Amino acid sequence: MLTSKVIGNVVSVLVIAALSFLGCDQAPTDTTVASASGGVSVAKPVVSPAKGNGGDVGRFTTIDYPGASQTFGWGINSAGDIVGSYKDGSSVEHGFLLWNGTFTSFDYPGANWTQGWGISPQGDIVGQYGLPDKTIHGFLLRNGTFTPIDIAGQPNTMLVKISPEGTIVGCYHVNNANGTTNLNTMYGFEMTAEGVVTSHPMARTMNNGVNPQGDIVGLYFDPATGQVLSSYLIRNGLVTTFQFEGSVATQAWDISPTGTIVGFHRSSLSGPLPQFHGFIMEQGEMTSFDVEGATQTRAYGISATGDIVGYYTSAGVNHGFLLTRRGPK
């Protein structure tokens, strides 16, 4: 039986970093990455303790891309390298890498928008980009070179995370007539480093996180409402579903090598804010957390050391965060 407990509000402090670029190993030959912004030093990181009624769980650091109107943290690797996306003053979305205290912006050539979603210990980045025809496509960024990745015969492919062994998880789907996602054709998938693809047996699913043991977490949508209903863990071929106790929706987005799962849950469909809260699930016990003063807190990635990335909303602005944890990982 799953249990849950709430860790109270935690404190966040603004952090801004600088600009630079990290190269990765084993570059395939394909489209070359656009030039990154160059090296302006900004502020040193400032952090503060994250405390709640469950004790000291770590510390929050806010991540804001310099000059961005919105910043989102999507993934983190064992070295602490973070990938995400940000929106500029024209609301155009770009991918970013935060490495060793410095930012690098990247864009898939010709794309309307770009998001970096997952990063391996080797520095390989996976993510998504959108084209003018409204279709969404996946990419692998290695050694400064983009390689497009699409599931054969599918107009939309979304890549979310990559394991140390090179296994990629995500989802694919077709569009409705109005351009929205057709949930009845949406399937989570995993793709091995050799290119072998396995689809989730159920429609309306998204595979979002994978660890070195091959455990996969994801979420599925209610066929009646089209809203996220619950999450699942795939381990040794068995699918187990779970929900945060008392929530109306639970979204799992990543899993660590020790099996810790992170994501967020929604406490209500209406009423006072906040409604979205981050969660950590360890050995069947789920802990909720919120950035102090935020109207929503969403966790999307966890590293091998247990650190968590995501984003929170405050005064209508989205900011990335890093939660450096203490205790179990």
Kindly report the CATH number assigned to the domain that includes residue 278.
2.120.10.30
As for how many domains the chain has, the answer is: 1
Instruction: Round to whole Å and give the CA distance between 167 and 162.
Output: 5
* Residue, of 50 and 75, whose pLDDT is higher: 75
pLDDT, tens only, 167-199: 999 999 999 988 889 999 999 999 999 999 999
How far is C-alpha 42 from the chain's CA centre? 25
How far is C-alpha 267 from the chain's CA centre? 20
Structure tokens at 98: 């935060």
How far is C-alpha 314 from the chain's CA centre? 19
How far is C-alpha 9 from the chain's CA centre? 22
**pLDDT exceeds cutoff 80 at 224:** yes
Share of the chain residues as helix, strand and coil, in percent rounded to the nearest 5:
0, 55, 45
Closest CA to 118 of 146, 101, 150, 141: 141
pLDDT, tens only, 111-157: 999 999 999 999 999 999 999 999 999 999 999 999 999 999 999 99
Closest CA to 301 of 159, 98, 160: 160
- Domain span at residue 56 reads 3-325
Residue 152 has phi, psi (to 5 degrees) of: -55, 130
**What residue has token string 């602490």?**
80
pLDDT, tens only, 268-284: 888 888 899 999 999 88
What pTM was computed for the model? 0.85
Task: Say if residues 73 and 264 touch (Cβ distance below 8 Å).
Answer: no
User: E strands of 81-196, at which residues?
Assistant: 82-87, 93-99, 102-106, 113-119, 125-130, 136-142, 145-149, 156-162, 168-173, 187-191
Instruction: Round to whole Å and give the CA distance between 286 and 282.
Output: 7
Task: Say if residues 34 and 109 touch (Cβ distance below 8 Å).
Answer: yes
Closest CA to 165 of 193, 207, 138: 193
User: CB neighbours (10 Å) of residue 143?
Assistant: 15
